Amino acid sequence: MTTKSIDLSLEIWRQKDSKATGDFETYTLQNISTDMSFLEMLDVLNENLTREGRDPVAFDHDCREGICGMCGAVVNGIAHGPEPETTLCQLHMRHFNSGDTLVIEPFRSRAFPIMKDLITDRSALDRIIQAGGYVSVNTGGAPDGNAIPIPSTTAELAMDAASCIGCGACVASCPNGAAMLFTGAKISQLSLLSQGQPERKERAMAMVTAMDKEGFGNCTNERECEAVCPKGISIRNIAIMNREYVKASVLG
Amino acid sequence: MAITGCCLVLFLCSHAAGNATLFYSTQLFQAYADQLHSHPLIVSVFSKGLFLIFAVHAITGSLLFLQNRKARGQGYKIQTRAVKNSQASSTMIYSGLLILLFALIHTAVVSFGDHGKIGITISELFDSFFVSIFYLIAFIGLALHLSHGFWSMLQTFGVNHPRYNKLISRLTYVVPVFFLLIFSAIPLLFLFGTGQ
């Protein structure tokens, strides 16, 4: 199998620190193997920049296998790039053509301040989890794996919601900068299972309150989040969250 | 938004039912209006309630629009949508403002006009080509608004289940088209001279 190479023009958001006003800078790259991932392509760019004595482009990454939720940028207006259900690290250069111009921007939202270049502070999502995205378990002997019977459809739904890696693409793509898909997934993941029942109401109230406090916008059901989610999480989880919230606030 | 929106859809149903008398004759419509206004308490409660619901819907919608724009912060250089057919959802504020403008004009002319001769007011109103066109444009705006609003309302209420989603996606077309047809039929009938 022969490897194809492509030439690219990149327009990347450069911003020195959280206080600086950033701007786009244009770079050109030659001979990029189409077997490379998007992040490997950025690695090549950074090697070139370092050799030239220039500041490399700062971007977040960790596992590079699509499960940690650390990477992410907006490529040509779409969070995590054009491939559906793919994180930026799993996006390969074979999806682009020679001569393409790629505009690479950080995940933007009022609740995600930019730290440097493509790195944003997504700790607002952590604080939503801290508010109630957990179950309190009294320690003791480990329960038997099959001691609590759960219908397989429920288990599947909970697992679908639990596949959220917290990357923040939902917030970045939402025209309102809302974090409802993230919070909805985290709430429904626990509310569907028996372990989540004791704290169900407190959880819904606390996590929604935390979400509002962080300055995220409101959901107007635009469905952008679901379209860019690298894990394909459905907005059905937002509907579940709405039900949970109404139940908790009206019925108490 | 969803609760007031739901109330407004119910109002549209009753309004469409009342309007349907016009398909028979302006006399029948006049009789319907007279009958309605012979119960001043009902008219008073419903019109004030409707005004309140409409105002809450419009004000909440506008505040949401402003809040959300602020939450978005800086926009992207490349503005594109991952969802196809998102025209209705991204233009809710504009279709909403068009409906608000229409509602203000429509109530000023028709609702605060002389109820005793509302049938004549209507037939005179739609004699004007431009008024009819304005009404038709407003009804298209309403249909666009409903095509996102109806589904969005159900989603907010938490109604999203694979068992019902097919029905809901059909209703997303049926509901706005139904109101578009039943409302725009009236100016069209008068415009083409078949209204009496």
A51 touches A44 (CB < 8 A): no
Number of domains chain B is built from: 1
In a domain, B196, yes or no: no
Are residues A67 and A130 both part of a single domain? no
State whether residue A240 is helix, strand or coil: helix
Six-digit token string for B196:
């009496």
Are residues A91 and A184 both part of a single domain? no
CA angle, A98 as apex, A96 and A103 as ends, to 5°?
60
Residue of B64, B71, B80 with shortest CB distance to A77: B80
B183 touches B142 (CB < 8 A): yes
In a domain, A112, yes or no: no
Residue of B70, B152, B158 with shortest CB distance to A243: B158
Cα–Cα distance measured from residue A234 to residue B168, given in angstroms and rounded to the nearest whole number: 16
Contact residues for A235 (Cβ-Cβ < 8 A; gap 6+): A181, A184, A221, A223, A225, A226, B155, B160
Q: Examine the pLDDT at A1 and tell me if it is beyond 80.
A: no
Six-digit token string for B35:
């009958």
B158 touches A242 (CB < 8 A): yes
pLDDT per position as a tens digit, A89-141:
999 999 999 999 999 999 999 999 999 999 999 999 999 999 999 998 877 88
In a domain, B45, yes or no: yes
**pLDDT of the residue at A181:** 97
**pLDDT of the residue at B120:** 86
**pLDDT of the residue at A83:** 96
Number of domains chain A is built from: 2
ipTM: 0.88
User: Residue A34 gets which letter from DSSP?
Assistant: T
Cα–Cα distance measured from residue A43 to residue A40, given in angstroms and rounded to the nearest whole number: 5
In a domain, B129, yes or no: yes
Q: Examine the pLDDT at A163 and tell me if it is beyond 70.
A: yes
List of chain A residues whose C-beta atoms are within 8 Å of the C-beta of residue B90: 175, 222
Residue B100's domain is classified under what CATH number?
1.20.1300.10
Six-digit token string for A96:
């682009």
In a domain, A143, yes or no: no
State whether residue B88 is helix, strand or coil: helix
**pLDDT of the residue at A145:** 73
* pTM listed for this prediction: 0.92
User: What amino acid occupies position A148?
Assistant: I
In a domain, B14, yes or no: yes
**pLDDT of the residue at B113:** 79
Q: Which helix (H) or strand (E) holds B90?
A: helix B87-90
- With a cut of 50, list the residues of chain B below it in pLDDT: none
Give DSSP secondary structure letters for B113-152.
Answer: S-GGGHHHHHHHHTTSHHHHHHHHHHHHHHHHHHHHHHHH
**pLDDT of the residue at B195:** 54
Six-digit token string for B86:
């998102």
Give DSSP secondary structure letters for A178-209.
Answer: --HHHHHHHHHHHHTSGGGSTTHHHHHHHHHH
Are residues A100 and A20 both part of a single domain? yes
Q: Examine the pLDDT at A179 and tell me if it is beyond 60.
A: yes
Are residues A73 and A37 both part of a single domain? yes
Domain that holds residue A48: 5-105
Contact residues for A121 (Cβ-Cβ < 8 A; gap 6+): A18, A112, A113, A114, A115
State whether residue A8 is helix, strand or coil: strand
In a domain, B117, yes or no: yes
Q: Average pLDDT, stretch A152-163?
A: 95
Residues facing residue A29 across a β-bridge: A8
In a domain, A115, yes or no: no
**pLDDT of the residue at A2:** 67
**pLDDT of the residue at A118:** 97
Query: Cβ of B196 under 8 Å from any chain A Cβ?
Result: no
Residues facing residue A102 across a β-bridge: A10
**pLDDT of the residue at B62:** 96
In a domain, B95, yes or no: yes
Cα–Cα distance measured from residue B83 to residue B91, given in angstroms and rounded to the nearest whole number: 14
Is the Cβ pair A110, B64 closer than 8 Å?
no
A182 touches A128 (CB < 8 A): yes
Q: Average pLDDT, stretch A14-21?
A: 95
Which of B155, B161, B163 to probe by mutation at the A interface, max A CB count within 10 Å? B155
